[in-house]
A and B are shown apart, each in its own frame.
Chain A
């Protein structure tokens, strides 16, 4: 039966698994108040931030790791993780020419050229290597429009007022176990600020690269769009292949004011572990956006293909009247990968609207769950939600689950949920093959057809990348 071959097809070697040989400054393993203070002092942070970290750390100590997700993994030893690792290069460079060529090479190898000559023409990139942002392109050009795009560490130094005003206001430090941990030890990440009335002139993108083994990655991203501002932002992630599991616990906060919009796209391809489930990233991420203003809009699009474990629910708090939240997701799991992912749409304001489109593809022995909450508060008169959750199974060893939760305190709210499960059948594959279409291309056609509604949401520049990524994951020995 050809499903065995479909299995082979989705089990392609990971192409970003190399390690860059670069001298790294690491602190000792383990977590304590001293470690939190050390991280803060290494970054030369203002007092308010140290206080924020320490409060989070103390909260974290009181909290318990959540266990409600449909995930199984060995107990994480939080004392066996390195909480800070940075490539040894003095200070962040003013000019790219001074950045260690090895780092530039690494990103180029990953398809993210940073140098002036080769960089993508319409995308500004912040490149984060282990715990540190090493370069951000097009900063000056963006500054001309009043747009701030830099690493969060730089923002702390250069725009402490903005950080103090917004950090932790969407995801409070005690929101959940992993968010608390992140708040205590976060290393770097991106900061974006789009001032009132400005439409960001180019795509913004952060590329996260884990390089060191035993290192946890704790990025923190904050994006603020003031009244009438808009921006499209994309993050990409890869990591080398290590046979130990690595923890990645990020927090992303979005704030949108009146008539503003943020489109946030993710292409996540962390190392997923091998076919027996050895190694891979534990991806525990808290992403939330707040539509604070009237008529504001947040759109999450995610293509999740990597990580051994994915625990991630990009959410929207729809406070402003007529605000809109969207979640478009493709999650592909294979081998022993486990994903428990979905979204929360919290309708607070009147006439708020949300759309959820989730496509889960499970192959091998993987498990792929959609978990989503649609909550309609008492003041959300005329709120509307539409959810669609489709699962595709490849082979007969994979599992797909859907956990939709609907809580409505508004009798006239319109909440619509549709779900479907399909399997790539041998007969469908045979039909395509019997028309001269190779096995591999046949699978890829069906999978990208299944994902089209989501891929259509990705920024143009990255739609091809996502297609390629899935094709890569699906590429096989055929042809």
Chain B
């Protein structure tokens, strides 16, 4: 839902980042206000996951220019755990397995870290069990997954559901979901989409990274952005995604070439 007067949650300005010596993000501009749902699409390798990891604070990526403001504060100053505690959430494209660490305990510690930041009291194991059982319903997950190690041996779809379960527990203000729809079967896709819709509200914003219209059929985005070569090349409404479905990304090359011709350094203007 677009409300021009809604509070600014996340403002990305001319963000450049590299991994080792390779520049990947080359001037990303993006603004998220409360209540909005954004979709980011784009070819493989265009920098979508990189953007999400830079926002979450992955140590492998170095920001070389630009700024990210989260609710008025400099996000890039903060440790990854601090970003999470104040309400930034990244649903990973490839959630890692952490053998030996109990999923339940992990979820509890994470939830309590977020609660502490919000001034809420710590949940003991019993109180947390109640909460987690309630939130499991959002993703229709079997409680048996709580007893296992974090993501260990989970199927691709199960991992994605576990991500959304974490989102449901952490109640983020800005949720970035990196291809949460990929690898899901038809039913799971519907369940996850319903879960995400349920969690999206007037006070938070969601950034969906996806390749497919089928997710956007279930969660209607307010904005659709196309990323290419480390920047956002085009922004439109939900119809842009439908157009991409028809035309593919061929036009991207043309536009990129034009861009290169105009100026190599000039930041790309956003619609």
Contact = CB atoms under 8 A, between A and B. Distances in A.
B131 interface: no
Given A426-B59, A430-B58, A449-B149, A438 B98 contact: no
A15 to B, nearest CB: 25
B193 interface: no
Interface string A424-459: 011110111111111101000110111010000000
Interface stretch (B25-33, B109-117, B256-264): B109-117
Contacts of A434: 56-57, 80-81, 83-84, 90, 92
B98 A436 contact: no
A435 B106 CA distance: 9
B161 to A, nearest CB: 16
Nearest to B86: A436
Contact of B106 (A425, A432, A439, A450): A432
B101 A446 contact: yes
B4 interface: no
A422 interface: yes
A435 B96 contact: no
B92 to A, nearest CB: 7
Q: Considering residues A431, A433, A452, which has the most beta carbons from chain B within 10 angstroms of its beta carbon?
A: A431
A436 B114 contact: yes
Interface in A1-27: 1-2
Contact of B81 (A428, A436, A448, A449): A436
A428 B98 contact: yes
A433 B83 CA distance: 9
SS class, residues of chain A in contact with chain B: helix
Given A426-B60, A436-B81, A446 B98 contact: yes
B100 A436 contact: no
Contacts of A446: 98, 100-101
Contact of B170 (A431, A436, A449, A450): A436
B85 interface: yes
B99 A422 contact: yes
A192 to B, nearest CB: 34
B95 interface: yes
B132 to A, nearest CB: 14
Nearest to A2: B59
B102 interface: yes
A435 B170 CA distance: 8
Given A1-B59, A446-B101, A437 B96 contact: no
A438 B113 CA distance: 9
B79 interface: yes
Given A430-B59, A431-B96, A436 B113 contact: yes
A437 B92 contact: no
Given A434-B80, A434-B90, A428 B110 contact: no
B178 to A, nearest CB: 11
A427 B96 contact: yes
A221 B86 CA distance: 55
A431 B93 CA distance: 12
Given A435-B170, A436-B81, A437-B81, A449 B96 contact: no
Interface residues of A, number: 24
A38 B60 CA distance: 63
Q: Considering residues B81, B99, B101, which has the most beta carbons from chain A within 10 angstroms of its beta carbon?
A: B81
A445 to B, nearest CB: 5
A1 B19 CA distance: 11
A439 B79 contact: yes
B73 to A, nearest CB: 16
Interface string B69-81: 0000000000111
A433 B101 contact: no
Contacts of B150: 431
A399 to B, nearest CB: 21
Contacts of B117: 436
B113 A435 contact: yes
Contacts of A439: 79, 81
Contact of A450 (B85, B100, B114): B100
B166 interface: yes
Contacts of B98: 428, 431-432, 446, 449
Nearest to B100: A449
Contacts of A426: 59-60
Given A426-B60, A433-B80, A445 B96 contact: no
Contacts of B106: 432, 435, 437, 445
Interface in B151-170: 166, 170
A433 B105 CA distance: 14
24 contacts: A1-B59, A2-B59, A425-B96, A426-B59, A428-B96, A430-B56, A431-B92, A431-B96, A432-B98, A434-B56, A434-B92, A435-B106, A435-B110, A436-B113, A436-B114, A437-B81, A438-B81, A438-B113, A439-B79, A439-B81, A441-B109, A445-B105, A446-B100, A448-B100
Given A1-B59, A434-B56, A436-B170, 14 more contacts: A430-B59, A431-B95, A431-B96, A431-B98, A432-B110, A434-B83, A434-B92, A435-B113, A436-B85, A437-B110, A439-B81, A449-B98, A449-B100, A449-B102
Pick the 3 closest A-B CB pairs, nearest first: A449-B100, A436-B113, A435-B110
